[in-house]
Amino acid sequence: MTSLVFENVWGNPSAPEVAKVQQLWRRHGVLKRDDVIESRSRQIVFVVANRDGEVGGVSTARPIQVPFLNNNFFYEFRCFVVPSFRSPGLDSLLALKTKDFLETLPESGSKYKGIVMLIENEVLKKQRTKAVWPATGMVFAGYTSQGHHIRIGYFKGARI
């Protein structure tokens, strides 16, 4: 496996990696609108790059209030890894690192209870059906009205 670097750019929108992520999103058609790219850029947590500095993955976190979880606040986790960077376990590692980092933020556990992710990818929905994902501990909590899977990972000591 190629050696990868996980760069934390949370709270640092002027980091050089952010511009590379924006290009990545545009190139792969993940995000198209400039305003969406701009706002999502402020939610970047980790950028994954190879030793040559080529960016191939990113995780983001957005504070959200979740009505069905007693209106508690969570971070909505998203990630994207380009096909050439995809390798077994990389998405889980990215999720785990992101959750572990978010857990260290001052209001985590008190205001923010954990991370929530929506599984929209049809392949993932068919292949990653374990009720609890072993690598990350993300627990299945139900389906959205669109049939996407909802998974939750609570921070240590979180109370609802």
DSSP per position, 27-73: HTTS---HHHHHHHHTTEEEEEEETT--EEEEEEEEEEEEGGGTTEE
The CB-of-115 to other proteins minimum distance in angstroms stands at 12
Residues pairing with 116 in the sheet: 76, 152
Nearer to other proteins, 69 or 118 (CB): 69
* Minimum separation from the CB atom of position 2 to other proteins (A): 31
* Cβ distance to other proteins smaller for residue 94 or 150: 150
Residues that bind other proteins (CB under 8 A): 68-70, 113-114, 125-126, 129-132, 139-143, 149, 152, 154-155, 157-160
Q: Which of 69, 150, 63 shows the shortest CA–CA distance to 107?
A: 63
**Rounded to the nearest whole angstrom, what is the least distance from the CB of residue 6 to other proteins in the complex?**
26
Number of residues that this document lists for the chain: 160
57 versus 114: smaller Cβ distance to other proteins: 114
